[in-house]
Amino acid sequence: MLLAEAVLEKDYIEESIEKINSYIHNLLVVIDNLDTKPNKSLIEQKLEELEDLYKKHQQFSIMLNRAKSQAKLKINNMELTLRDAETIKESMERKLSNFEDLLHRASKAMSDSKAVCIETELTIKEIRLDIKTIDMKIQHVMWNTEIS
């Protein structure tokens, strides 16, 4: 199985857990007491399914963490683990969000005929390009790393 496929499977498991939780929540309270016994039975079945899904989720989480810690990629002549590259990407996305907020505030100030003391557009373009580059390298590693 490829690393990217395992990530998709883990995502599917998480969605399934959410759906079962939602289903259980809909069965928790009944208006008619005659529905209590059938609902309890359905809830017990779904709780068993949920338990199996949580075990499977744990297995995939461990497998993914190990694989991401072992998979390597190069960014700016630095060899990093996939886990480190994802952390760098997240940090850069936070930085991009902050600069976009500054740009938005500067644009608003300009519309109020005030002087703006910062230029962030070029920086934002550079950050977006860096994020796209890192993301492409991450995706390449994920779709080319076999895990067991």
Residue-wise pLDDT for 99-114, tens only, equals 999 888 877 777 666 6
Q: What is the mean pLDDT of residues 127-131?
A: 96
Report which DSSP code applies to 75. Answer: E
The range of the structural domain enclosing residue 144 comes to 72-148
Residues 66 and 86 in one domain: no
pTM of model > 0.85: no
Q: What is the mean pLDDT of residues 35-55?
A: 93
User: Which pLDDT score, from 0 to 100, does residue 115 have?
Assistant: 66
Residues 12 and 53 in one domain: yes
For residues 144 and 2, what is the distance between their CA atoms, to the nearest angstrom? 7
Residues 32 and 65 in one domain: yes
For residues 56 and 52, what is the distance between their CA atoms, to the nearest angstrom? 6
For residues 21 and 47, what is the distance between their CA atoms, to the nearest angstrom? 9
- Using a 10 angstrom Cβ sphere, with 0-12 exposed, 13-18 middle and 19 or more buried, the burial of residue 56 is middle
* pLDDT value at 132 more than 80: yes
Residues 50 and 79 in one domain: no
Beta carbons of 60 and 9 less than 8 angstroms apart = yes
Residues 66 and 81 in one domain: no
pLDDT digits (tens, 9 = 90+) for 46-68: 999 999 999 999 999 999 999 99
Residues 82 and 146 in one domain: yes
User: Which pLDDT score, from 0 to 100, does residue 123 have?
Assistant: 87
Residues 45 and 94 in one domain: no
> 15-19, 38-42, 115-119: lowest mean pLDDT where?
115-119
* Whole-number percent of the chain with pLDDT over 90: 72
The last residue of a domain, from among 54, 70, 86: 70
Residues 78 and 96 in one domain: yes
Residues 117 and 129 in one domain: yes
Q: Which residue has the higher pLDDT, 31 or 87?
A: 87
Beta carbons of 7 and 64 less than 8 angstroms apart = yes
Residues 43 and 65 in one domain: yes
Give the end-to-end CA distance of the chain in Å, rounded to a whole number.
7
Q: How many domains does the chain have?
A: 2
> Average pLDDT of the chain?
91
Residues 77 and 66 in one domain: no
Residues 53 and 84 in one domain: no
Beta carbons of 52 and 130 less than 8 angstroms apart = no
